[in-house]
Amino acid sequence: MAAMVLVASVDGFGGALALGMFAGLCYAGQNMLIVAPVYLLSVIAFSPTLFTLLYTVVPVVAFAVVYIIFYRMRKNVSIVWTTVTALLSELPHAVLTVVFGGRVTEGVLSFVLAGVFAFCAQTICYAVLFRGIKTRFTPDELIAGGIVVITFAYAAACIVIEGARPVFFLFSFFLLLFAHGAGAASGFAFAVLAGIGCAAAFRAPDVIAFAALASAAAAALRPFTKWATSFGVTGVYALFWLAAAPAGWGWQDLIAVALGALAFVMLPLRAVSGLFGGKRGTAAAVGGILNRNRSELSARLMSVSKVFYDMSGNLRELESEVNRYTPERLAAEVSKNYCGRCPEREGCFAALGGSTEGVILPMANAALTRGKVTILDMPPFVTGSCKKMHNLASVVSGAAEAYRRRAEEAGGMNETKRLMSEQFAGVSLVLDSLARECGEKVCFGEEEQDAIAAELLRHNIVAGEIAVSGEGATVSVALTVRASDADKLVLPRIVSACAGVSLERVAVTPRGEDCVVHLAASPVFEVAYGIAEKSRGGEKVSGDTKSVLCPSRRRRLFALSDGMGSGEHASRASRDAIAMVENFYRAGFDNAVILTLVNKLLCLTSEENFSSLDIAVVDTVSGGMDIIKMGAVSTFVCHRGSVEVISGSAPPVGILERALPLTCRRQLYDGDIVIMMSDGVYDALDEQGVIDAVEEIRSFNPQVLADRLLERALGAGAQDDCTVMVMRLVAR
């Protein structure tokens, strides 16, 4: 507000400069209900006329209307609109000055000054009031700030109180403040700019020389104490006063310089460092807190991961109850509980050496194997000596039936334990992966971030907070920029050059007047694909299910499941298998765990839904491809000049409890083609037929190749559901 009063005091052009300052404060988000009265009073105080009142009310009304319109439109007012509004608001004053006052030069200059100073004031006020004086400034902000400093110095130099010029007080104070707080270069720039403004007001170029020498003295004495730099600046003025007193250098100005230096000396160093410094310390503190929290979260996730891993191991190590229900145990129980209570037991025990287990064992084996005991299963001793052999056979058969039921129950419990064990192991792997990601250090305010901020400033992009995490292919950068800079194409290129990794914009999050731009490592490759399919004749729905999924930014998953049979039943089976695989991949489970769990879950279903799975996961950063097969036909990988066939022998998912998938990894390069197909196509063409077709078609277009392969399969008499998926790796 004091700055507005200062510029309003300039003779002839005070109103135009005050209007520019009013526009700058409004654009920087200051309360218009406070700024507008100060603007009106400042201009009217130096020119108390009805004419002044009329032309100062026009900008207030114009800015109020513009801001109301944009508020209703739910949009931010751009600097272009506010600058145009300032120019149009100054136009009546300029026209009236020319028409009624006859001062053409003054009218034109006031109009031009209003526009130029409004743009400069808006630029620097937005930078200082929104981002703070601690931030670095872009080239356009530095130029705007320089013009504002020259204007303020000119306005202050025009004020004279009892022969003293307060501008020298302000000059020495702010010169020392900039020299100590922002550095010698900033102090020199401020001194020269302020000297230019004062020289224009005094019409004395030697003021610029004084400003330059004073800043040099402050820079030379800065390593010592504040008193030393204060005496240095005051001494430079004293030398000029003694050498150039006839040119207007007076003792009153010497006292003003000394008082300004004294005021700076009395200013605590904490205030100076708080005004200009402390950015790195604050960023380092924030980074330390964040990294400590991430480290603690990583440790907790690791602990939880270990809990699930231990639970998985404990379930695997539990003793199987099935092994307890053996023929030997059955024979022992019957011998004890039935023969031991028989009135004729003494004779049998004496003849058999104290136990009947040996003669009952063949009967127990037969009962557990065939479900019943016949006279043919009884040893000669039982048929010749036992008077209750039929009751004995019934008891053995009943006990065997109870054993079978218990064994089945124990087997189901063991299967559940194994399934839970594998699920716990999968959860453990996911938590372990999350723990490693959370444990990655996030860097704030370090050399790399400073280099990024400096390079962006060279391209007129202001970056506030900059956070870098990860390294190599996992690096990510988040930075706060102006909303107008968020979509600039040069931004990711600059950050990529500084980080040494190719980055791309993945998200932009609005945050007040600014935006947070998120950058991550850009893929080296992309995958172009084509799909051709045809259901079995007479069926509305194909039993083949295909899926193209992006489980993460750098991975592309292609899956093909062929349900046994055809029609809706087979389609539902294959859809279930694909859906489970997709969900597990989204959760971040390991490939081997995914297929094992899917197989287990399908084995537990009541219906016989048997499906083959054919999965290819392509890494778009490294070019690696993971292949997972279970009951699927061969996959064909076409390199330059050769075709590799990858075959698996595992049965379809859901048939065998312990079936293991084929998992392998291949390295792909630019232009390599991968072909996946269902058994309907493969059975019609066979392996060599597919290779011959690829060599004859000679197309690099995935869709064309898929269509041609399907046509050949149908021409060869394919009757089953037919699906062909073709992928081609393309360098970006």
Separation between Cα atoms, residue 661 and residue 675, nearest integer Å: 19
- Cα dihedral 165, 169, 172, 174 sign: negative
Locate 8 and state its tokens.
Answer: 């309003």
DSSP label at 622? T
Separation between Cα atoms, residue 431 and residue 438, nearest integer Å: 10
Contact 90, 19 (CB under 8 A): yes
Contact 626, 616 (CB under 8 A): yes
CA 570: distance to chain centroid? Answer: 39
Contact 272, 180 (CB under 8 A): yes
Helix segments in 318-356, DSSP class H:
327-337, 345-352
CATH class for the region spanning 525-731? alpha beta
Q: Does the structure show a pLDDT above 90 at 703? A: yes
Cα Rg of the chain, angstroms: 43
DSSP structure string for 402-415: HHHHHHHHHHHHHH
pLDDT average, residue stretch 268-275 = 68
Helix segments in 378-469, DSSP class H:
380-385, 389-438, 447-458
> What are the tens digits of pLDDT across the range 604-642?
544 444 567 788 989 888 888 888 887 788 899 998 878
Q: Hey, which of 3-12, 294-303, 324-333, 692-701 has the most confident mean pLDDT?
A: 692-701
pTM recorded for the entire structure: 0.56
pLDDT of residue 528: 92
pLDDT of residue 497: 87
Burial category of 166 from C-beta neighbours within 10 Å (exposed 0-12, middle 13-18, buried 19 and up): middle
Contact 523, 722 (CB under 8 A): no
pLDDT of residue 653: 47
pLDDT of residue 184: 80
pLDDT above 70 coverage of the chain, percent: 82
Strand partners, 529: 727
Residue written as tokens 């306005």? 155
Number of residues that this document lists for the chain: 732
Q: Write down the mean pLDDT value for the chain.
A: 79
pLDDT higher at 250 or 668:
668
> What are the tens digits of pLDDT across the range 407-461?
777 666 776 777 777 777 767 777 776 777 677 666 654 667 778 888 888 787 8
Separation between Cα atoms, residue 518 and residue 495, nearest integer Å: 11
> What are the tens digits of pLDDT across the range 515-555?
889 888 888 899 999 999 888 766 666 767 788 888 777 78
Residue written as tokens 């076409």? 638
pLDDT of residue 661: 67
Q: Which one-letter amino acid corresponds to residue 476?
A: S
